[in-house]
Amino acid sequence: MKHHNGLKTAVLLGAMSAIVIAIGYAFGGSTGVLIAAVIAVGMNAYAYFNSDKIALRAMRARPVTEAESPQLYATVRELSQRAGQPMPRLYVSPTMQPNAFATGRNPEHAAVAVTDGILRLLTPAELRAVLGHELSHVYNRDILISSVAGALAGIITMLANLAIFIPLGNSDNDRPNPLVLLLTMILGPVAAGLIQMAVSRSREYEADADGARLTGDPLALASALEKISAGVDRMPARADSRIAEQSHLMIESPLRGGGLASLFSTHPPTTQRVARLREMARGVVR
């Protein structure tokens, strides 16, 4: 599964790179492509090296000591040692919505955060299963992949914004091309949504399976996902909130809604994730 997902990601990113080059050349020639690429890659390089700080700040997460959260430390230390990986930094967010996420560009710079809501909701076995899922994201280098996908989406958005300044046809006036304006409003968000949907959904399934193998308890993760999903249903985040900006990192999307919101969801349906975990517990290989 891991190799198949890696191949699909490589194909996706290669295809999107080709589209970026084609659009950039059509709108602004080689100069337009170069300018957009340099700016977008620079911005995303900053986001990549500071991804943990950005995410933790958005969630208002604070670092916790072992004296404050001995059980949390004991669980993460046990799982890290089982995986043969370094101990990540641990944070707690005051958010009452039950959720958790991991961030950092590699295991040596990783951080795992949980919300107050999830600490109050889950049993120790369920919380351990969630932590196994989040650690698996770190070990699978999912943050790196998300950063590359984000860079491509940023380049596409930048090209669309530069296209505003292209005049309409051969007219002497400087009115923008209506088609270009339409692309400006649609192209960037759609490209970003498609990239995140294609990359993140497969990564969630993989982290579920790897986390269940790490903890040896797929049913605990299935139970935790059901509780977390129900908790998010009761208190969904606003689409314009800072929490929503980090939705792709969460174990469960903090947003709720249909239509385009569900089309571009970065998470597969919870029912499908739970079904896979239960099949895994029965020894059924998908």
Q: How far is CA 48 from CA 104, 189, 195, 247, 273, in A?
A: 8, 20, 17, 16, 28
What are the DSSP calls for 214-236, one per residue?
HHT-HHHHHHHHHHHHHHHHHSP
Pairing of strands 89-93, 111-115: parallel
Q: What backbone torsions phi and psi does residue 115 show, to the nearest 5 degrees?
A: -90, 160
Which entry of 66, 78, 126, 134 is annotated as an active-site residue? 134
For residues 249 and 141, give the distance between their C-alpha atoms in angstroms, rounded to a whole number: 12
Q: How far is CA 13 from CA 6, 17, 147, 149, 170, in A?
A: 11, 6, 11, 7, 35
For residues 35 and 158, give the distance between their C-alpha atoms in angstroms, rounded to a whole number: 9
CB-facing half-sphere around the CA of 21: CA atoms within 13 A: 6
For residues 202 and 276, give the distance between their C-alpha atoms in angstroms, rounded to a whole number: 13
CB 263 within 8 A of CB 198: no
Annotated active-site residue 134? The verdict is yes
- Mind telling me the catalytic residues? 134
